[in-house]
Amino acid sequence: MQKITAIKGMNDILPDVSDAWLWLESQLQSWLKSYGYSNIRTPIVENTNLFVRSIGEVTDIVEKEMYSFTDSLNGDSLSLRPEGTAGTLRAVIEHNLLYNATQKLWYIGPMFRHERPQKGRYRQFHQLGVEALGFTGSDIDAEIILMQHDLWQILDISNLELQINCLGNLDERAKHREALISYFEGHKEHLDADAQKRLYSNPLRILDTKNPALQDIVNNAPKLSDHLGEESMSHYANWKKQLDNLKINYVENHRLVRGLDYYNLSVFEWVSSDLGAQSTVCAGGRYDPLIKQLGGGDNYAIGFAIGLERLLLILEALNKLPRNTACDIFIANMGDDTAMYSFGIARELRASGYNVVQNLGNQSFKSQFKKADNLGAKFTMVIGENEVKNKQIMVKSMADGKQLSINHSELALSFPTRSGTKLEKEI
Ligand code: ATP
Ligand code: MG
Q: For residue range 83-108, list pLDDT tens digits in order.
A: 999 999 999 999 999 999 999 999 99
How far, in Å, from the CA of 215 to the mean position of ligand 2?
A: 19
Mean pLDDT, residues 246-252 taken together = 97
Mean pLDDT, residues 252-265 taken together = 83
How far, in Å, from the CA of 102 to the mean position of ligand 1?
A: 27
Which of 121-130, 319-328, 342-351, 396-405 has the lowest average pLDDT? Answer: 319-328
Q: Is 109 in the pocket of ligand 1 (CB under 6 A)?
A: no
Residue 126 has a pLDDT of 98
Q: Cα–Cα distances in Å, from 219 out to 62, 181, 203, 259?
A: 27, 15, 14, 18
Indicate the angle between helix axes 139-154 and 230-245, nearest 10 degrees.
30
Q: What gap in Å lies between CA 70 and CA 83, rounded to an integer?
A: 20
Q: What angle do CA 88, 92, 96 make, to 5 degrees?
A: 170
For ligand 1, atom 4, which residue shows the shortest CA distance? 278
Atom of ligand 1 nearest to the CA of 127: 16
CA of 64, nearest ligand number: 2
Q: Is 122 in the pocket of ligand 1 (CB under 6 A)?
A: yes
Atom of ligand 1 nearest to the CA of 311: 20
Q: Is 113 in the pocket of ligand 1 (CB under 6 A)?
A: yes
Q: Is 9 in the pocket of ligand 1 (CB under 6 A)?
A: no
Mean pLDDT, residues 361-390 taken together = 93
Q: Is 168 in the pocket of ligand 1 (CB under 6 A)?
A: no
Q: Is 83 in the pocket of ligand 1 (CB under 6 A)?
A: yes
Atom of ligand 1 nearest to the CA of 304: 14
For ligand 1, atom 16, which residue shows the shortest CA distance? 307
Residue 423 has a pLDDT of 39
Full DSSP string of 84-106: SHHHHHHHHHHTTTTTT--EEEE
Q: pTM of the prediction? A: 0.89
Burial 73-94 (b: 16+ CB within 10 A, else e): eeeeebbbbbbbbbbbbbbbbe
Q: Is 309 in the pocket of ligand 1 (CB under 6 A)?
A: yes
Q: Is 305 in the pocket of ligand 1 (CB under 6 A)?
A: yes
pLDDT of 59 > 60? The answer is yes
Burial (CB count within 10 angstroms: exposed 0-12, middle 13-18, buried 19+), residue 28: buried
pLDDT of 276 > 60? The answer is yes
Torsion angle of alpha carbons 251, 256, 262, 266, nearest 10°?
A: 20
Q: Which helix (H) or strand (E) holds 330?
A: strand 329-333
Which of 28-32, 55-59, 259-263, 304-308 has the lowest average pLDDT? Answer: 259-263
For a pocket test of ligand 1, which of 126, 127, 167 has the largest count of ligand atoms closer than 8 A to its C-beta? 127
Q: Is 60 in the pocket of ligand 1 (CB under 6 A)?
A: no
Percentage of the chain beyond pLDDT 90 is 81
How far, in Å, from the CA of 100 to the mean position of ligand 2?
A: 35
Q: Is 408 in the pocket of ligand 1 (CB under 6 A)?
A: no
pLDDT of 295 > 60? The answer is yes
Q: Is 307 in the pocket of ligand 1 (CB under 6 A)?
A: yes
How far, in Å, from the CA of 31 to the mean position of ligand 2?
A: 26
CA of 55, nearest ligand number: 1
Please state, rounded to an integer, the average pLDDT across all residues of the chain: 93
For ligand 1, atom 8, which residue shows the shortest CA distance? 280
pLDDT of 421 > 60? The answer is no
Q: What gap in Å lies between CA 126 and CA 311, rounded to an integer?
A: 10
Q: Is 222 in the pocket of ligand 1 (CB under 6 A)?
A: no
What's the pLDDT band for 148 if we cut at 50, 70, 90? very high
Full DSSP string of 139-199: HHHHHHHHHHHHHHHHTT---EEEEEEE---HHHHHHHHHHHHHHHHHTGGGS-HHHHHHH
Q: Is 281 in the pocket of ligand 1 (CB under 6 A)?
A: yes
3-state DSSP percent of the chain in helix, strand and coil, to 5: 40, 20, 35
Q: For residue range 317-354, list pLDDT tens digits in order.
A: 999 998 766 799 999 999 889 999 999 999 999 999 99
Structural contact between residues 138 and 238, judged by C-beta atoms closer than 8 angstroms? yes
Q: Is 127 in the pocket of ligand 1 (CB under 6 A)?
A: yes
How far out from the chain centre does Cα 251 lie? 23
Q: For residue range 196-230, list pLDDT tens digits in order.
A: 988 998 888 898 888 899 999 999 999 988 999 99
Structural contact between residues 84 and 111, judged by C-beta atoms closer than 8 angstroms? yes
Q: Is 278 in the pocket of ligand 1 (CB under 6 A)?
A: yes
Q: What gap in Å lies between CA 389 and CA 383, rounded to an integer?
A: 10
Residue 427 has a pLDDT of 38
Nearest to 46 by CA among 81, 76, 88, 70: 81
